[in-house]
Amino acid sequence: MPDRFDTLARPISLSVDSLHLSRGDRRLIEGLSLELGPGDALWLTGPNGIGKTTLLLALAGLLRPDAGSVDWMIADHRVRPENAVAYAAHQGPERNGLKLGEELAFWQTLYRDRKVLQARLESVGLSGRADTPVAGLSAGQRRRLSLARLMASNRGAWLMDEPLAGLDTEGRARVTHVLSDHLSNGGLAVIASHQPVPIDGVTAHKLVLEPGS
C-alpha cells in the first residue's frame, strides 16, 4: 500500500477502458474509455438518471463494472480505488447525533489527517461551528463539511457529486478555490454537476452523457 501522506507528491492517473455499467436491469454506460492525469479535471454532465452517479461509484470502486476496467495509478503503480480516491457522495456519511466537529474529527482520524480540526473548519468557512449538531446543518453547510472531508482525505483524486448544490456565492467561491488548489498541486478531480464548476488555471474536460438512440 502506498504511503497515504505522499499521495499528492506522486503523480496520480486514471485510465478507464471500455467500461460497461448498469444499475439493476438498466444499462447505463457502454464502452466508455478515458484517461486523466495529474492536474486534470473532468466535468460530468447530463440529464438526471443518465448515470453520472453510477459512473462516480464505479470510479470509486463502489460498483462492479459489467465489463471493462477502471485503473488508478500512483507513480505508475496500480492501486486500489480506495487508496487513490476520496468520494464526496451526494449525501454525506454524517450521522445525526454527532456534532460537526466530532464528525469531521472522526474522518480526520480515519484518514490520518495531520491538520488541526480548526484549520480544516476554517478553510471551508465553518470556523466556530464545531459544536453545531449535525442534525441542524443546512444543505450548504453539509456541502462545506463534505469539502472539508475531501481535503482531510489527502487523496490524490477527488470524486464529487454535485459539489455546488445548495451553496451560496461565498461557498461556491470556496469550492473553486479549494479545487483549483488541489488540481494545481497535482491532484485530479471528477465532478458530476449540472452547473459548470469554475476552476482557475487548469485543463478541464467536459464529458456529456446523453440519452442513446
Partner 1 sequence: MMRAILLRDLRLAARGASGTGLSLAFMALFVLLCGLALGGSQPALGPGLLWLAATLSALLGLDRFYQPDQETGALAQMHHAGASETAIATAKCLSFALTAIIPLILAAPFLALLLGMDGPSITGTVLSLIVGAPALTAYASVTGALLAGQRSGGVLAVILTAPLLIPVLIFGTEAANVFAADGLATVQFRILAGLSFIAVALGLPATVAALAANRGA
Partner 2 sequence: MFSRFANPQRFVGLARWLGPLLGWGALVTLTLGLWQSLIASPPEAEHGETVRIMYVHVPAAWSAMAAYSAIAIASLVSFVWRHPLADMAARSLALPGAAFTALALITGSLWGKPDWGTYWQWDGRMTSVLVLFFIYVGYMAIWQVVEDRKRASRLAAITAMIGWVNIPIIKFSVEWWNTLHQSATVSMPESPGLAMELLVPLMLMATGYTLLLGWLTVRGMLAEIATARAARCPAPAATARMEAL
Q: How far is the CB of 30 from partner 2 (least distance, A)?
A: 4
201 touching partner 2, by CB under 8 A = no
Which partner from the list partner 2, partner 1, none does 130 bind, CB cut-off 5 to 8 Å by kind?
Answer: none
Q: What is the CA radius of gyration of the chain?
A: 17
Interface residue with partner 1 among 8, 34, 62, 207 (CB under 8 A) is: 62
Nearest by Cα to 145 from 186, 196, 84, 101: 101
Neighbours of 163 (CB within 10 A): 24
Give 58 or 183: the residue with its C-beta nearer to partner 1.
58
Amino acid at 147: L
Give 73 or 106: the residue with its C-beta nearer to partner 1.
106
Give 43 or 158: the residue with its C-beta nearer to partner 1.
158
Neighbours of 78 (CB within 10 A): 10
Sites for partner 2 among residues 19-78 (CB under 8 A):
20, 24-30, 32, 34, 43, 46, 50-51, 64
Neighbours of 83 (CB within 10 A): 16
SS (H, E, C) 148-179: HHHHHHCCCEEEEECCCCCCCHHHHHHHHHHH
154 in Cβ contact with 186 (< 8 Å)? no
Sites for partner 1 among residues 95-134 (CB under 8 A):
95-98, 102, 106-107, 109-112
Which partner from the list partner 1, partner 2, none does 158 bind, CB cut-off 5 to 8 Å by kind?
Answer: none
User: Which cell numbers hold the place of 208?
Assistant: 456529456
Contacting residues toward partner 2, per CB under 8 A: 20, 24-30, 32, 34, 43, 46, 50-51, 64, 203-213
Contacting residues toward partner 1, per CB under 8 A: 4, 57, 60-64, 81-83, 85-87, 89, 91-98, 102, 106-107, 109-112, 153
